[in-house]
Structure 1
Amino acid sequence: MNKMPPKTSRNKRETFSSSKNNNASKDRWILSYADFITLLFAFFVALYSIAIQNAGNEKLISDTLEGVFDAVQKSVKPISIGEPTTNELQSDSLLEIDPAESEEVEEPKINAPDSSSQLFDQLSLLVENQLDEYNSTGLISLSEDQRWINVDLKSGLLFGAGEYELTNDAVAILIPVTSLLKQFQYPIIVEGHTDDLVINSSKYTTNWHLSSERASSVVDEMIFRGMTPELIAPIGFSNHQPQVRNTNEFAREQNRRVTLRISKVNGESVYDLLFK
Protein backbone atom coordinates (compact mmCIF):
# COMPACT_ATOMS: atom_id res chain seq x y z
CA MET A 1 0.00 0.00 0.00
CA ASN A 2 1.35 3.43 -1.05
CA LYS A 3 1.56 5.96 1.73
CA MET A 4 0.52 9.56 1.10
CA PRO A 5 3.43 12.07 1.38
CA PRO A 6 3.28 14.29 4.43
CA LYS A 7 1.60 17.64 3.90
CA THR A 8 3.41 19.46 6.67
CA SER A 9 5.95 21.26 4.45
CA ARG A 10 3.37 22.44 1.93
CA ASN A 11 1.09 23.63 4.68
CA LYS A 12 3.91 25.67 6.19
CA ARG A 13 4.65 27.34 2.84
CA GLU A 14 1.01 28.19 2.31
CA THR A 15 0.73 29.60 5.83
CA PHE A 16 3.88 31.75 5.38
CA SER A 17 2.68 33.05 1.99
CA SER A 18 -0.74 33.91 3.42
CA SER A 19 0.84 35.71 6.39
CA LYS A 20 3.12 37.69 4.07
CA ASN A 21 0.23 38.81 1.89
CA ASN A 22 -1.80 39.83 4.93
CA ASN A 23 1.08 41.94 6.31
CA ALA A 24 1.57 43.62 2.94
CA SER A 25 -2.09 44.48 2.70
CA LYS A 26 -2.10 45.90 6.22
CA ASP A 27 0.72 48.37 5.38
CA ARG A 28 -0.87 49.72 2.22
CA TRP A 29 -2.72 52.40 4.19
CA ILE A 30 0.60 54.21 4.75
CA LEU A 31 0.87 55.07 1.06
CA SER A 32 -2.66 56.39 0.97
CA TYR A 33 -2.09 58.39 4.14
CA ALA A 34 1.14 59.92 2.76
CA ASP A 35 -0.64 60.93 -0.46
CA PHE A 36 -3.46 62.46 1.57
CA ILE A 37 -1.05 64.52 3.72
CA THR A 38 0.83 65.74 0.61
CA LEU A 39 -2.36 66.86 -1.07
CA LEU A 40 -3.61 68.48 2.12
CA PHE A 41 -0.35 70.41 2.46
CA ALA A 42 -0.59 71.55 -1.16
CA PHE A 43 -4.21 72.61 -0.57
CA PHE A 44 -3.24 74.86 2.35
CA VAL A 45 -0.32 76.31 0.38
CA ALA A 46 -2.75 77.16 -2.40
CA LEU A 47 -5.13 78.83 0.07
CA TYR A 48 -2.28 80.81 1.58
CA SER A 49 -1.09 81.86 -1.88
CA ILE A 50 -4.53 83.15 -2.83
CA ALA A 51 -4.72 85.12 0.42
CA ILE A 52 -1.53 87.11 -0.28
CA GLN A 53 -1.87 87.73 -4.00
CA ASN A 54 -2.35 91.44 -3.32
CA ALA A 55 1.10 91.67 -1.73
CA GLY A 56 2.96 91.41 -5.07
CA ASN A 57 4.25 87.83 -4.64
CA GLU A 58 2.67 86.25 -7.75
CA LYS A 59 5.95 84.99 -9.22
CA LEU A 60 7.08 83.52 -5.90
CA ILE A 61 3.66 81.89 -5.42
CA SER A 62 3.87 80.28 -8.85
CA ASP A 63 7.36 78.89 -8.18
CA THR A 64 6.25 77.55 -4.79
CA LEU A 65 3.21 75.74 -6.16
CA GLU A 66 5.23 74.19 -8.99
CA GLY A 67 7.71 72.87 -6.44
CA VAL A 68 4.93 71.31 -4.37
CA PHE A 69 3.07 69.54 -7.16
CA ASP A 70 6.10 68.46 -9.21
CA ALA A 71 7.91 67.18 -6.09
CA VAL A 72 11.18 68.60 -7.41
CA GLN A 73 12.10 70.83 -4.51
CA LYS A 74 13.02 69.29 -1.18
CA SER A 75 11.56 72.25 0.68
CA VAL A 76 9.10 74.96 -0.14
CA LYS A 77 10.53 78.41 -0.75
CA PRO A 78 9.51 80.82 2.01
CA ILE A 79 6.98 83.47 1.12
CA SER A 80 7.54 86.83 2.73
CA ILE A 81 4.83 87.87 5.15
CA GLY A 82 3.84 91.52 5.33
CA GLU A 83 0.98 93.91 5.43
CA PRO A 84 -1.06 93.37 2.23
CA THR A 85 -1.37 96.49 0.13
CA THR A 86 -4.81 97.88 -0.56
CA ASN A 87 -3.87 99.48 -3.90
CA GLU A 88 -3.13 97.51 -7.04
CA LEU A 89 0.41 97.34 -8.33
CA GLN A 90 0.86 100.01 -10.99
CA SER A 91 4.02 98.62 -12.58
CA ASP A 92 6.61 95.88 -12.18
CA SER A 93 9.23 98.51 -11.39
CA LEU A 94 7.74 98.85 -7.90
CA LEU A 95 9.04 95.37 -7.10
CA GLU A 96 12.64 96.43 -7.71
CA ILE A 97 14.39 98.17 -4.83
CA ASP A 98 17.52 100.21 -5.28
CA PRO A 99 20.05 99.17 -2.57
CA ALA A 100 21.01 102.81 -2.11
CA GLU A 101 17.39 103.72 -1.39
CA SER A 102 16.89 100.85 1.07
CA GLU A 103 19.78 101.83 3.34
CA GLU A 104 18.79 103.20 6.72
CA VAL A 105 19.46 106.86 7.31
CA GLU A 106 22.39 107.14 9.69
CA GLU A 107 22.73 109.79 12.32
CA PRO A 108 24.67 112.77 10.99
CA LYS A 109 28.34 112.83 11.95
CA ILE A 110 29.70 116.09 13.32
CA ASN A 111 32.81 116.90 11.28
CA ALA A 112 33.22 120.62 11.81
CA PRO A 113 36.83 121.84 12.28
CA ASP A 114 36.20 122.69 15.94
CA SER A 115 34.11 119.60 16.64
CA SER A 116 36.79 118.12 18.93
CA SER A 117 36.48 121.08 21.29
CA GLN A 118 32.70 120.82 20.92
CA LEU A 119 32.91 117.16 21.91
CA PHE A 120 35.01 117.99 24.97
CA ASP A 121 32.52 120.66 26.01
CA GLN A 122 29.58 118.28 25.62
CA LEU A 123 31.40 115.55 27.56
CA SER A 124 32.11 118.05 30.33
CA LEU A 125 28.44 118.98 30.52
CA LEU A 126 27.46 115.31 30.52
CA VAL A 127 29.80 114.49 33.38
CA GLU A 128 28.76 117.60 35.32
CA ASN A 129 25.00 117.20 34.89
CA GLN A 130 24.33 113.46 34.67
CA LEU A 131 27.38 111.83 36.25
CA ASP A 132 28.28 114.35 38.94
CA GLU A 133 28.00 111.82 41.78
CA TYR A 134 30.80 109.78 40.19
CA ASN A 135 32.81 112.86 39.17
CA SER A 136 32.76 114.35 42.66
CA THR A 137 34.17 111.14 44.15
CA GLY A 138 36.94 110.84 41.54
CA LEU A 139 35.51 107.75 39.87
CA ILE A 140 35.24 109.63 36.57
CA SER A 141 37.66 112.25 35.28
CA LEU A 142 38.00 114.12 31.99
CA SER A 143 41.14 115.58 30.41
CA GLU A 144 42.60 116.46 27.00
CA ASP A 145 45.85 117.18 25.23
CA GLN A 146 46.74 118.14 21.66
CA ARG A 147 45.80 114.76 20.20
CA TRP A 148 43.37 113.07 22.60
CA ILE A 149 40.36 113.53 24.82
CA ASN A 150 40.64 111.17 27.80
CA VAL A 151 37.77 109.79 29.88
CA ASP A 152 39.09 107.87 32.91
CA LEU A 153 36.73 105.38 34.59
CA LYS A 154 38.00 103.72 37.76
CA SER A 155 37.77 99.91 37.79
CA GLY A 156 36.09 99.96 41.21
CA LEU A 157 33.13 101.59 39.50
CA LEU A 158 33.08 99.32 36.46
CA PHE A 159 33.96 95.86 37.81
CA GLY A 160 34.00 93.68 40.85
CA ALA A 161 37.35 92.70 42.37
CA GLY A 162 39.26 90.50 39.92
CA GLU A 163 36.28 90.45 37.50
CA TYR A 164 35.65 91.71 33.99
CA GLU A 165 31.82 91.72 33.87
CA LEU A 166 30.42 95.26 33.91
CA THR A 167 28.44 96.41 36.93
CA ASN A 168 25.02 98.06 36.67
CA ASP A 169 26.64 101.43 37.39
CA ALA A 170 29.06 100.86 34.51
CA VAL A 171 26.22 100.22 32.06
CA ALA A 172 24.33 103.27 33.32
CA ILE A 173 27.42 105.40 32.63
CA LEU A 174 28.29 103.95 29.23
CA ILE A 175 24.78 104.45 27.81
CA PRO A 176 24.83 108.31 27.77
CA VAL A 177 28.56 108.44 26.99
CA THR A 178 28.13 106.17 23.96
CA SER A 179 25.04 108.09 22.84
CA LEU A 180 27.18 111.22 22.64
CA LEU A 181 30.34 109.70 21.16
CA LYS A 182 28.58 107.86 18.33
CA GLN A 183 27.53 111.24 16.87
CA PHE A 184 31.16 111.97 16.05
CA GLN A 185 33.56 110.38 13.58
CA TYR A 186 36.49 110.07 15.99
CA PRO A 187 38.34 106.76 16.52
CA ILE A 188 38.42 105.58 20.14
CA ILE A 189 40.95 103.35 21.88
CA VAL A 190 39.72 101.73 25.11
CA GLU A 191 42.65 101.06 27.43
CA GLY A 192 42.58 98.59 30.32
CA HIS A 193 44.98 99.16 33.26
CA THR A 194 45.68 97.24 36.47
CA ASP A 195 47.90 97.73 39.52
CA ASP A 196 51.22 95.94 40.10
CA LEU A 197 49.94 93.20 42.41
CA VAL A 198 50.34 89.65 41.13
CA ILE A 199 46.95 88.40 40.06
CA ASN A 200 45.46 85.58 42.10
CA SER A 201 42.63 84.14 40.04
CA SER A 202 41.73 80.87 38.37
CA LYS A 203 40.36 82.81 35.37
CA TYR A 204 43.47 84.79 34.51
CA THR A 205 47.16 83.99 34.64
CA THR A 206 48.48 87.57 34.41
CA ASN A 207 47.32 91.17 34.62
CA TRP A 208 47.67 91.30 30.83
CA HIS A 209 44.67 89.03 30.50
CA LEU A 210 42.59 90.93 33.04
CA SER A 211 43.30 94.37 31.59
CA SER A 212 42.50 93.15 28.06
CA GLU A 213 39.26 91.48 29.14
CA ARG A 214 38.09 94.60 30.96
CA ALA A 215 38.80 96.83 27.96
CA SER A 216 36.98 94.36 25.71
CA SER A 217 33.92 94.36 28.00
CA VAL A 218 33.63 98.13 27.67
CA VAL A 219 34.01 97.95 23.89
CA ASP A 220 31.37 95.23 23.62
CA GLU A 221 28.89 97.31 25.63
CA MET A 222 29.52 100.45 23.57
CA ILE A 223 29.09 98.58 20.30
CA PHE A 224 25.89 97.07 21.66
CA ARG A 225 24.69 100.62 22.37
CA GLY A 226 25.31 101.73 18.78
CA MET A 227 28.99 102.62 18.50
CA THR A 228 30.49 101.95 15.05
CA PRO A 229 32.74 98.85 15.45
CA GLU A 230 35.40 100.18 13.06
CA LEU A 231 35.86 103.28 15.22
CA ILE A 232 36.63 101.55 18.52
CA ALA A 233 39.13 98.94 19.72
CA PRO A 234 40.33 97.55 23.10
CA ILE A 235 43.89 97.25 24.32
CA GLY A 236 45.31 96.01 27.63
CA PHE A 237 48.38 97.57 29.27
CA SER A 238 48.50 95.47 32.45
CA ASN A 239 50.31 97.53 35.13
CA HIS A 240 52.83 99.17 32.78
CA GLN A 241 51.15 102.57 32.37
CA PRO A 242 50.39 103.68 35.97
CA GLN A 243 49.09 107.16 36.72
CA VAL A 244 50.88 107.21 40.08
CA ARG A 245 53.38 104.97 41.82
CA ASN A 246 51.93 101.79 43.33
CA THR A 247 53.10 102.62 46.86
CA ASN A 248 49.85 101.95 48.76
CA GLU A 249 46.28 100.79 48.27
CA PHE A 250 44.94 104.26 47.49
CA ALA A 251 47.52 104.67 44.73
CA ARG A 252 46.68 101.25 43.32
CA GLU A 253 42.99 102.20 43.18
CA GLN A 254 43.93 105.16 40.95
CA ASN A 255 45.87 102.90 38.62
CA ARG A 256 43.09 100.32 38.25
CA ARG A 257 41.10 102.00 35.51
CA VAL A 258 39.71 101.94 31.98
CA THR A 259 40.48 104.95 29.80
CA LEU A 260 38.56 106.02 26.71
CA ARG A 261 41.13 107.77 24.50
CA ILE A 262 39.23 109.70 21.84
CA SER A 263 41.28 110.93 18.90
CA LYS A 264 40.82 114.53 17.82
CA VAL A 265 41.41 113.53 14.20
CA ASN A 266 38.53 112.23 12.12
CA GLY A 267 39.10 108.79 10.62
CA GLU A 268 37.46 105.83 8.94
CA SER A 269 38.69 103.35 11.54
CA VAL A 270 41.02 102.79 14.48
CA TYR A 271 43.25 100.76 12.16
CA ASP A 272 43.78 103.76 9.87
CA LEU A 273 44.58 105.91 12.90
CA LEU A 274 47.21 103.50 14.25
CA PHE A 275 48.78 101.95 11.18
CA LYS A 276 48.36 104.30 8.22
Structure 2
Amino acid sequence: MARRKKEECKAPPAWLTSFGDLMSLLLTFFILLYSMSTISLEKFYQAIKGIVEAFGGHYVIHEERVIQGRKVPIQFPDMYPKLKSRKAIEEKLHEIRKMLQRMGINSEVAKYGTSIRLRINTDKLFPSGSDKPYREAIPLIMEICKKLKEFDLPITIEGHTDNRPIRSKRFPSNWELSAARATSVLRLFIQCGYNPKKLSAAGCGPYRPIASNDTPEGRAKNRRIEVIIHLPM
Protein backbone atom coordinates (compact mmCIF):
# COMPACT_ATOMS: atom_id res chain seq x y z
CA MET A 1 0.00 0.00 0.00
CA ALA A 2 1.39 3.38 -1.07
CA ARG A 3 2.23 5.74 1.69
CA ARG A 4 0.29 8.97 1.81
CA LYS A 5 2.41 12.01 0.94
CA LYS A 6 2.76 14.35 3.87
CA GLU A 7 1.38 17.82 3.24
CA GLU A 8 4.02 20.53 3.40
CA CYS A 9 1.60 23.13 4.89
CA LYS A 10 -1.88 23.01 6.29
CA ALA A 11 -4.89 24.25 4.28
CA PRO A 12 -6.12 27.72 5.35
CA PRO A 13 -9.27 27.84 7.48
CA ALA A 14 -12.56 28.37 5.66
CA TRP A 15 -13.24 31.77 7.25
CA LEU A 16 -10.09 33.19 5.73
CA THR A 17 -11.58 32.92 2.23
CA SER A 18 -14.62 34.99 3.25
CA PHE A 19 -12.37 37.50 5.00
CA GLY A 20 -10.26 37.87 1.86
CA ASP A 21 -13.37 38.50 -0.24
CA LEU A 22 -14.53 41.14 2.27
CA MET A 23 -11.17 42.95 2.13
CA SER A 24 -11.29 42.92 -1.67
CA LEU A 25 -14.76 44.44 -1.66
CA LEU A 26 -13.71 47.12 0.82
CA LEU A 27 -10.68 47.98 -1.28
CA THR A 28 -12.88 48.27 -4.38
CA PHE A 29 -15.33 50.45 -2.45
CA PHE A 30 -12.62 52.89 -1.31
CA ILE A 31 -11.13 53.06 -4.78
CA LEU A 32 -14.61 53.95 -6.07
CA LEU A 33 -14.96 56.69 -3.44
CA TYR A 34 -11.58 58.10 -4.37
CA SER A 35 -12.46 58.15 -8.06
CA MET A 36 -15.71 59.99 -7.29
CA SER A 37 -13.87 62.61 -5.24
CA THR A 38 -12.43 64.05 -8.45
CA ILE A 39 -15.27 66.39 -9.52
CA SER A 40 -15.85 67.44 -13.07
CA LEU A 41 -16.77 71.13 -12.83
CA GLU A 42 -18.75 71.00 -16.05
CA LYS A 43 -20.92 68.13 -14.80
CA PHE A 44 -21.17 69.76 -11.39
CA TYR A 45 -22.51 73.02 -12.83
CA GLN A 46 -24.93 71.11 -15.05
CA ALA A 47 -26.30 69.26 -12.01
CA ILE A 48 -26.65 72.48 -9.99
CA LYS A 49 -28.32 74.17 -12.96
CA GLY A 50 -30.95 71.41 -13.09
CA ILE A 51 -31.63 71.69 -9.35
CA VAL A 52 -31.93 75.49 -9.49
CA GLU A 53 -34.33 75.36 -12.45
CA ALA A 54 -36.44 72.72 -10.70
CA PHE A 55 -36.95 75.10 -7.76
CA GLY A 56 -37.81 78.06 -9.97
CA GLY A 57 -34.43 79.77 -9.93
CA HIS A 58 -32.31 81.26 -12.68
CA TYR A 59 -29.64 79.74 -14.84
CA VAL A 60 -26.20 79.20 -13.39
CA ILE A 61 -23.74 81.13 -15.56
CA HIS A 62 -20.04 80.45 -15.25
CA GLU A 63 -17.00 81.22 -17.32
CA GLU A 64 -15.56 78.55 -19.56
CA ARG A 65 -12.11 78.45 -18.04
CA VAL A 66 -9.90 76.16 -16.05
CA ILE A 67 -10.33 76.79 -12.35
CA GLN A 68 -7.26 75.95 -10.32
CA GLY A 69 -7.26 75.05 -6.69
CA ARG A 70 -9.31 72.72 -4.56
CA LYS A 71 -11.82 75.22 -3.21
CA VAL A 72 -14.18 76.58 -5.86
CA PRO A 73 -16.38 79.46 -4.58
CA ILE A 74 -19.94 79.10 -5.91
CA GLN A 75 -22.55 81.78 -5.34
CA PHE A 76 -26.26 81.65 -6.17
CA PRO A 77 -27.73 85.02 -5.11
CA ASP A 78 -31.00 84.44 -7.00
CA MET A 79 -31.58 80.83 -6.01
CA TYR A 80 -35.10 80.00 -4.79
CA PRO A 81 -36.24 79.21 -2.11
CA LYS A 82 -33.32 80.87 -0.31
CA LEU A 83 -33.80 84.16 -2.10
CA LYS A 84 -33.69 85.98 1.19
CA SER A 85 -33.07 84.60 4.61
CA ARG A 86 -35.69 84.58 7.32
CA LYS A 87 -33.56 87.02 9.26
CA ALA A 88 -33.63 89.52 6.40
CA ILE A 89 -37.45 89.30 6.21
CA GLU A 90 -37.77 89.84 9.95
CA GLU A 91 -35.48 92.87 9.78
CA LYS A 92 -37.61 94.34 6.98
CA LEU A 93 -40.80 93.79 8.99
CA HIS A 94 -39.32 95.51 12.03
CA GLU A 95 -38.35 98.38 9.75
CA ILE A 96 -41.99 98.62 8.60
CA ARG A 97 -43.13 98.46 12.21
CA LYS A 98 -40.91 101.43 13.14
CA MET A 99 -42.33 103.35 10.17
CA LEU A 100 -45.88 102.68 11.38
CA GLN A 101 -44.93 103.62 14.92
CA ARG A 102 -43.68 107.02 13.75
CA MET A 103 -47.12 107.60 12.22
CA GLY A 104 -48.89 106.62 15.43
CA ILE A 105 -50.16 103.26 14.16
CA ASN A 106 -49.88 100.30 16.49
CA SER A 107 -48.45 97.11 14.99
CA GLU A 108 -46.58 93.99 15.95
CA VAL A 109 -44.69 91.12 14.35
CA ALA A 110 -45.62 87.54 15.23
CA LYS A 111 -43.87 84.35 14.12
CA TYR A 112 -45.78 81.15 13.42
CA GLY A 113 -43.65 78.28 12.08
CA THR A 114 -43.27 78.82 8.34
CA SER A 115 -44.99 82.21 8.33
CA ILE A 116 -44.48 85.66 9.80
CA ARG A 117 -47.42 87.97 10.53
CA LEU A 118 -47.39 91.75 10.49
CA ARG A 119 -50.40 92.89 12.52
CA ILE A 120 -51.55 96.45 11.84
CA ASN A 121 -54.27 98.25 13.77
CA THR A 122 -56.97 99.54 11.41
CA ASP A 123 -58.24 102.57 13.37
CA LYS A 124 -56.03 104.92 11.33
CA LEU A 125 -56.33 102.93 8.10
CA PHE A 126 -60.13 102.71 7.70
CA PRO A 127 -63.07 104.80 8.90
CA SER A 128 -65.35 102.97 11.32
CA GLY A 129 -67.61 100.54 9.44
CA SER A 130 -65.94 101.21 6.06
CA ASP A 131 -63.69 99.24 3.75
CA LYS A 132 -62.30 102.30 1.95
CA PRO A 133 -58.92 103.37 3.40
CA TYR A 134 -58.29 106.93 4.48
CA ARG A 135 -56.66 108.96 1.70
CA GLU A 136 -53.51 109.43 3.77
CA ALA A 137 -53.37 105.69 4.54
CA ILE A 138 -53.12 104.64 0.88
CA PRO A 139 -49.47 105.75 0.38
CA LEU A 140 -48.60 103.97 3.62
CA ILE A 141 -50.06 100.68 2.41
CA MET A 142 -48.27 101.11 -0.92
CA GLU A 143 -44.98 101.70 0.91
CA ILE A 144 -45.47 98.47 2.89
CA CYS A 145 -46.00 96.66 -0.40
CA LYS A 146 -42.82 98.12 -1.89
CA LYS A 147 -40.76 96.93 1.06
CA LEU A 148 -42.19 93.40 0.84
CA LYS A 149 -42.17 93.14 -2.94
CA GLU A 150 -38.42 92.50 -3.07
CA PHE A 151 -38.87 89.15 -1.34
CA ASP A 152 -41.42 87.91 -3.90
CA LEU A 153 -43.01 85.50 -1.42
CA PRO A 154 -46.66 84.37 -1.14
CA ILE A 155 -48.72 86.70 1.05
CA THR A 156 -52.14 86.31 2.63
CA ILE A 157 -53.95 89.42 3.83
CA GLU A 158 -56.46 88.82 6.63
CA GLY A 159 -59.07 91.22 7.94
CA HIS A 160 -60.13 91.07 11.62
CA THR A 161 -62.70 93.01 13.66
CA ASP A 162 -63.80 93.28 17.27
CA ASN A 163 -67.02 91.67 18.52
CA ARG A 164 -69.23 94.73 18.24
CA PRO A 165 -71.94 93.87 15.68
CA ILE A 166 -72.34 95.84 12.47
CA ARG A 167 -75.48 95.90 10.36
CA SER A 168 -75.62 97.96 7.20
CA LYS A 169 -76.78 97.57 3.63
CA ARG A 170 -73.23 96.92 2.49
CA PHE A 171 -72.04 94.85 5.44
CA PRO A 172 -74.64 92.61 7.12
CA SER A 173 -71.99 91.42 9.59
CA ASN A 174 -68.33 91.72 10.54
CA TRP A 175 -67.54 88.83 8.19
CA GLU A 176 -68.24 90.99 5.14
CA LEU A 177 -66.48 94.04 6.60
CA SER A 178 -63.29 92.13 7.44
CA ALA A 179 -63.21 90.44 4.02
CA ALA A 180 -63.79 93.76 2.21
CA ARG A 181 -60.96 95.45 4.12
CA ALA A 182 -58.58 92.60 3.34
CA THR A 183 -59.54 92.80 -0.34
CA SER A 184 -59.01 96.58 -0.36
CA VAL A 185 -55.44 96.12 0.91
CA LEU A 186 -54.88 93.34 -1.61
CA ARG A 187 -55.97 95.60 -4.50
CA LEU A 188 -53.51 98.26 -3.35
CA PHE A 189 -50.76 95.63 -3.33
CA ILE A 190 -51.66 94.74 -6.92
CA GLN A 191 -51.56 98.42 -7.91
CA CYS A 192 -48.12 98.58 -6.28
CA GLY A 193 -46.94 95.81 -8.62
CA TYR A 194 -47.07 92.74 -6.39
CA ASN A 195 -47.59 89.50 -8.30
CA PRO A 196 -51.35 88.73 -8.07
CA LYS A 197 -50.64 85.01 -8.26
CA LYS A 198 -48.90 85.24 -4.90
CA LEU A 199 -51.64 87.18 -3.13
CA SER A 200 -54.77 86.02 -1.33
CA ALA A 201 -57.26 87.64 1.03
CA ALA A 202 -59.44 86.35 3.86
CA GLY A 203 -62.03 87.78 6.22
CA CYS A 204 -62.05 86.36 9.74
CA GLY A 205 -64.56 88.69 11.39
CA PRO A 206 -64.38 88.77 15.21
CA TYR A 207 -63.60 85.08 15.62
CA ARG A 208 -59.81 85.20 15.95
CA PRO A 209 -59.20 87.76 18.67
CA ILE A 210 -55.71 88.33 20.05
CA ALA A 211 -56.98 90.29 23.07
CA SER A 212 -60.07 90.45 25.25
CA ASN A 213 -63.08 92.20 23.77
CA ASP A 214 -64.18 93.27 27.25
CA THR A 215 -62.10 96.46 27.21
CA PRO A 216 -61.71 99.28 24.66
CA GLU A 217 -57.98 98.58 24.49
CA GLY A 218 -58.57 94.90 23.73
CA ARG A 219 -61.17 95.67 21.05
CA ALA A 220 -58.80 98.16 19.42
CA LYS A 221 -56.10 95.49 19.30
CA ASN A 222 -58.49 93.05 17.63
CA ARG A 223 -59.37 95.53 14.88
CA ARG A 224 -56.48 94.76 12.60
CA ILE A 225 -55.15 93.76 9.21
CA GLU A 226 -52.65 90.91 9.19
CA VAL A 227 -50.12 90.64 6.37
CA ILE A 228 -48.96 87.01 6.47
CA ILE A 229 -45.72 86.21 4.69
CA HIS A 230 -45.35 82.52 3.87
CA LEU A 231 -41.73 81.49 4.09
CA PRO A 232 -40.22 78.84 1.80
CA MET A 233 -40.05 75.32 3.21
Global fold match (TM > 0.5): yes
Tell whether 2:142 aligns with 1:172: no
Q: Give 3-state SS (helix, strand or coil) of 2:108's partner.
A: strand
Residue 102 of structure 2: aligned partner: 133
Cα distance in 1 for partners of 2:101, 2:83 equals 29
CA distance in 1, matches of 2:131, 2:151: 27
Size of the aligned set, in residue pairs, is 156
Q: Which of 190, 207, 213 is equivalent to 2:157?
A: 190
For 1:204, which of 157, 171, 187 is the aligned residue? 171
Contact kept in structure 1, 2:126 and 2:133, CA below 8 Å:
yes
Quote how far apart the aligned CAs of 1:253 are: 1.0
Query: How much is the aligned-residue C-alpha RMSD, in angstroms?
Result: 2.1
Q: Give, in whole Å, the separation in 2 of the partners of 1:247 and 1:205.
A: 23
Rounded to whole Å, the distance in 2 between the matches of 1:247 and 1:166 is: 26
> Matches of residues 126-275 of structure 1 in structure 2 within 5 Å?
126-128=96-98, 130-134=99-103, 137=104, 139-265=106-232
Counterpart of 2:101, as a letter, is: D
* Counterpart-to-counterpart distance in 1, 2:86 and 2:207: 28
1:121 to 91, 95, 102: 91
* One-letter code aligned to 1:161: S
Contact 2:154 / 2:198 at 8 angstroms: preserved in 1?
A: yes
SS in 1 for 2:159: strand
Distance 1:256 1:140 in 2: 11
Who is 2:32 aligned against?
Answer: none
Please state whether the residue corresponding to 2:124 is helix, strand or coil: helix
Q: Secondary structure at the match of 1:172?
A: helix
Output the TM-score relative to the length of structure 2. Answer: 0.61
> Alpha-carbon deviation of 1:140?
2.1
Structure that is richer in helix per residue: 1
2:86 aligned partner, one-letter code: S
CA offset digits 1:35-78 (Å, max 9, x no partner) = xxxxxxxxxxxxxxxxxxxxxxxxxxxxxxxxxxxxxxxxxxxx
Q: Which runs of 4+ in 1 moved over 4 A?
A: 108-111
Q: 5 Å matches for 1:86-105?
A: none
Paired with 2:157 and 2:84, the residues of 1 have a C-alpha distance of 23
Q: Secondary structure at the match of 1:144?
A: strand
Distance 1:149 1:169 in 2: 26
CA-to-partner distance for each residue in 1:86-133, whole Å, 9 max, x for gaps?
xxxxxxxxxxxxxxxxxxxxxx787436522211112212432x3332
1:38-77 paired onto structure 2 within 5 Å? none
Relative contact order, CA 8 A, sep 6+: which one is greater? 2
Question: 1:219–1:233: 8 Å Cα contact kept in structure 2?
Answer: yes
Q: Could you tell me whether the CA contact under 8 Å between 2:100 and 2:106 is conserved in 1?
A: no
Deviation at 1:218, TM superposition (A): 0.4
Aligned to 2:10: none
- Call closer, same or farther: CA 1:110–1:160 in 2, change over 3 Å: farther
When Rg is computed on C-alpha atoms for both structures, the one with the higher figure is 1
Structure 2 gap ranges (5+): 1-77
Contact 1:187/1:231 (CA < 8 Å) preserved in 2?
A: yes
1:146 deviation in Å? 2.2
Cα deviation digits, residues 215-238 of structure 1 (max 9, x gap): 000000011001100111110011
Give the aligned partner of residue 11 of structure 2: none
In the alignment, is the contact (CA less than 8 A) between 2:81 and 2:232 conserved in 1? Answer: no
Percent identity, please: 25
- Alignment partners' CA distance in 2, 1:200 and 1:109: 49
